[in-house]
Amino acid sequence: MRIEDSRNIQSLRELIDADNFVEHVSVDCVIFGYNKEKLRVLLLKYHDLDIWSLPGGFVFNDEDLRQAADRVLYERTHLKNLFLDQFHTFGRISRTENNIHQTLLKNKGIEVPKDHWIFQRFITVGYCSLINYSLVDTFPDAFNEMCQWFDVNELPNMAFDHERIIQIGLRHLRKNLDTQIVAFNLLPEKFTMNDLQKLYEIVLGEKFRRNNFQRKMLSLGTLERQEKLFDGSPNKAPYLYKFKDNLVDYLD
């Protein structure tokens, strides 16, 4: 047995033996990535299984849901200090019926009673974020062998109901992009209207006419026009913009 396999088994044993989790409650994090080309989502691949999942985990008795989401995301991927927006609670009876945990433990030779809490129904609270994935490094935890970005339109074989969680998270992101784009910190302090339009087009998956887009953005009242961007080119210099202060409302 490889050393890393032994560590993985020990980590699993410690998890299933823990008795200080909130029963039947978990958190899952949908981390969308943007880099001026495509919209992607961060997924983890289980050891010895051709199945991918969102970064997720259980909630300790002594922590808030948001604290659990922050902790789980860091433990699973090493990402931290992200704006995480709670967007939906998932409680369908069928969501944990594909025996992922049973298969994972069986592959590791770990025997657990059939009535163990890890096999029972779980309700999960979804959190989402949007980051520039070209600026961050991610690392899988002991439970997973790979951490990888996927095009939101080309997802692999997913565990549980995680494909549905991604789709609902994407719908929430697109619906609230106008009010929360500042929180995701995707643009420099000062940016052009073209920079902003590219971001919208990639996240929303549609193209906009330049004049219509500019008119809409200015009508929101969230931008402050700055000096022009003179880069030495013969083209007309565009104005720079910045978001007004105090736009982000952190919801508990």
- Per residue in 169-213, pLDDT tens? 999 999 999 888 888 888 888 999 999 999 999 999 999 999 999
Q: What is the pLDDT of residue 5?
A: 39
d(CA 179, CA 94): 34
Q: In 183-200, which positions are buried (b, 16+ CB within 10 angstroms) versus exposed (e)?
A: bbbbbeeebbbebbbbbb
Judged against a pLDDT cut of 60, whether residue 168 lies above it is answered with: yes
| Mean pLDDT of the region 64-93 | 94
Judged against a pLDDT cut of 50, whether residue 10 lies above it is answered with: no
d(CA 172, CA 125): 14
Residue percentage of the chain with pLDDT more than 90: 52
Q: Which residue has the higher pLDDT, 114 or 139?
A: 139
d(CA 23, CA 120): 9
**What token pair was written down for 143?**
């439970």
Q: Is there a contact between 63 and 71 (Cβ–Cβ < 8 Å)? A: yes
| Mean pLDDT of the region 217-224 | 92
Give percent helix, percent strand, percent coil of the chain, each to the nearest 5: 35, 25, 40
| Mean pLDDT of the region 80-109 | 80
| Mean pLDDT of the region 91-102 | 76
Q: Which residue has the higher pLDDT, 112 or 193?
A: 193
| Tens-digit pLDDT profile for residues 26-48 | 999 999 999 878 899 999 998 77
Q: For the purposes of burial, counting CB atoms within 10 Å of the CB of 125, is it exposed (0-12), middle (13-18) or buried (19 or more)? A: buried
